[in-house]
Chain A
Amino acid sequence: MFYVKKKQAMLNKIYIDEQSPFLVNDPRKNRWAVPYNYETTNIRTHILLGKNTKHIKNKRILDLGCHYGTFAYIAMKLGAAYIEGVDSDPNLIEQANQFFKEHSINSDKFNFNCTDAISYIESLPDNSFDTVLCLGLLYFIPNPAYLIQQISRVCKEAAIIDTFTAYNCLLWGKDAISIRKKTKKESFELPMLFFKLTKENKKMYKLPFQFETNNKILSLVSYPTIPLLEIYFKSNHLKAIKISWDKYIVNKNKQIEDLITQDGKMMSHWTDIYSSKARVSYLLKK
């Protein structure tokens, strides 16, 4: 809704149809910052999964924060041997099962679990999945270092992570004002973890780690800076290869401060979130 319309010429590989129920029903299709519409989802799939098919095809995959199975479904189409999806929202899991049934996907090849990602991954044996997907989950939890440690333990070969970084704290919510006031741009070059409180009803998901304070139900969420993310990877013996979005980036010089105002957001392209480093993606090899 906020985006300036761009030609869809960039879209050269189609992984999911415009009329797919995964897209038509997705409440995130018009949102800022990463909309789940036809163009964005196909490009993100191409970059995150399509260019890493050797970690998808014939592999056992764990999809943490699977939502209602959009990426799990595409991974299945790319030849995954088996997919286990995890999400804490029961409605999303019910919908994922429904969509997979409608697409006649062999029920032996997938399973969706309604539980929180941390407890689930803790229960898994070492090396139990070839590949772990963690696409848009890391910033919904307060213990990201622990989750990365668990991902490293559970994945046999690789993990793919797509996440917001600490820069994103400057863009959203009441506490963004205080964070902008109390930091310099250079503060985000330090290995630091920023925490924020968020209300569930502001999100499209049931959030884990909720607690009650001053008669409000809040969740504590966290955003690592890029140097910190890379420390987490290194200390867990994961070789991090930064995934490049350059081919699709429209505004190459977009800075984080350009996205702070409502106007800045309205004038942005969805890839600005990557060019401004508010979101990053990595292929992690064990």
Chain B
Amino acid sequence: MIHEYINSDSIFIKHSTGINSWPIPNDAESLNIRAHLMLEKNETFIAKKKVLIIGCHNGIFPYFCLKLGANFVKGLFLNNGYVETAKNNFQSLNLNPNKYAFEETSPQNYLKLIKDNEYDTIICLHSAAYYQDHYQFIYELHKKTKEVAIIDSLTANYTLLLGKKSIPTLEKIKKETFSLPITNYIEENNQIVSYSSETLFELAFQSTGFKFDKIDWRKHSDNPITNWQELISLKSKQASHWTDLYSSNIAITYVLRKEKTSNVK
């Protein structure tokens, strides 16, 4: 039984633009499951901790962290519209303003400016794509978190599911290409974004000095799809459950525990 952190009347959902969006909808079911698997099951890294959330969207995950007892939560987002929405949502819920802050900034610049070990826990939600260098991003996470990072990201397989846009890539690769340690770069909304394979993520975690556990989403789908190729057509996308993205390695979530010293010498 999943605890209901929010319902469909919540301001985080009522005013959200991505309730039905593919690949991951921001509806109550999806958000409650994500809160359960990513945060509640890692409550010891949230309760009484100083938490940074990269990609805070309209404040929903910072809100979950406060509900789970975080001492302080800081949310970052590149787009000012979402930061303003997050602030308004928190104000309308009368949450203690000493316990949270939001900032419109590039996570790359923010991580550079803060001290090492500044946050107990850093949570990165679908933001790695905007970092051109994924190894450097994971290296920075390792430096700036004191204990744990939780990373939720789309993988290189996602770049194969974008309809017509993916055709040139599909023609030039084999189905196994993205099982190699690679990062694929594509253009999205007039900017270059980057998506890495699961193999690369895991090598980068090891190399930077993180122990990692992959979160298993399969039990939340009746019939989990395990192959990204099954999600190429529009029809199959429409018929799929959002957790199929995780079971087919189109998206991945890891809990990264910092080892005492960096492996990087």
Give residues in A with beta carbon < 8 Å to B. Answer: 142-146, 149, 178-179, 181-184, 186-187, 189-197, 208-213, 220, 222, 228, 231-232, 235
Which segment, of B27-35, B72-80, B181-189, faces chain A? Answer: B181-189
Contact A231 B185, beta carbon cutoff 8 Å: yes
Contact A183 B177, beta carbon cutoff 8 Å: yes
Chain B residues with CB under 8 Å of A210's CB are 263-265
Contact A192 B183, beta carbon cutoff 8 Å: yes
How far is A33 from B182 in the complex, measured between Cα atoms in Å? 24
Please pick, from A143, A181, A196, the residue contacting B176 in the complex, using a CB distance under 8 A: A181
Bits for B184-220, please: 1 = Cβ < 8 Å to A, else 0: 1110000010000000100110111100000000000
3 nearest CB pairs, A to B: A211-B263, A145-B133, A195-B181
| Interface flag for B222 (CB, 8 Å) | no
Chain A residues with CB under 8 Å of B136's CB are 143, 145-146
| Interface flag for B139 (CB, 8 Å) | yes
Please pick, from A183, A211, A220, the residue contacting B209 in the complex, using a CB distance under 8 A: A211
**Interface range on chain B: under 10, 10 to 19, 20 to 34, or 35 or more?**
20 to 34
Total A-B Cβ pairs within 8 A? 93
Contact A192 B184, beta carbon cutoff 8 Å: yes
Please pick, from A178, A196, A209, A228, the residue contacting B207 in the complex, using a CB distance under 8 A: A209
Kindly provide the distance from the CB of B236 to the nearest chain A CB, expressed in whole angstroms.
24
Please pick, from B133, B180, B184, the residue contacting A179 in the complex, using a CB distance under 8 A: B180
A143-B133, A145-B136, A228-B185 known; A186 vs B172 contact (CB < 8 Å)? yes
Chain B residues with CB under 8 Å of A149's CB are 132-133
How far is A109 from B136 in the complex, measured between Cα atoms in Å? 33
How far is A235 from B263 in the complex, measured between Cα atoms in Å? 30
How far is A191 from B183 in the complex, measured between Cα atoms in Å? 9
Interface core residue of A179, A184, A191 (most chain B CB under 10 Å): A191
Chain B residues with CB under 8 Å of A189's CB are 172
Chain B: which residue is nearest A211 at the CB level? B263
Please pick, from B185, B204, B263, B264, the residue contacting A191 in the complex, using a CB distance under 8 A: B185
Contact A145 B203, beta carbon cutoff 8 Å: no
Please pick, from A146, A183, A212, A213, the residue contacting B133 in the complex, using a CB distance under 8 A: A146
A184-B174, A192-B184 known; A211 vs B179 contact (CB < 8 Å)? no
Chain B residues with CB under 8 Å of A146's CB are 132-133, 135-136
Chain B residues with CB under 8 Å of A184's CB are 172-174, 177
Contact A235 B192, beta carbon cutoff 8 Å: yes
Bits for B164-175, please: 1 = Cβ < 8 Å to A, else 0: 000001011110
Interface core residue of B169, B174, B181, B204 (most chain A CB under 10 Å): B181
A184-B172, A209-B264, A220-B135 known; A193 vs B203 contact (CB < 8 Å)? no
Contact A187 B133, beta carbon cutoff 8 Å: no
Q: A211-B263, A212-B263 are in contact. List 7 more A-B contacts (CB 8 A).
A: A182-B176, A187-B173, A190-B184, A191-B186, A194-B180, A209-B264, A210-B265
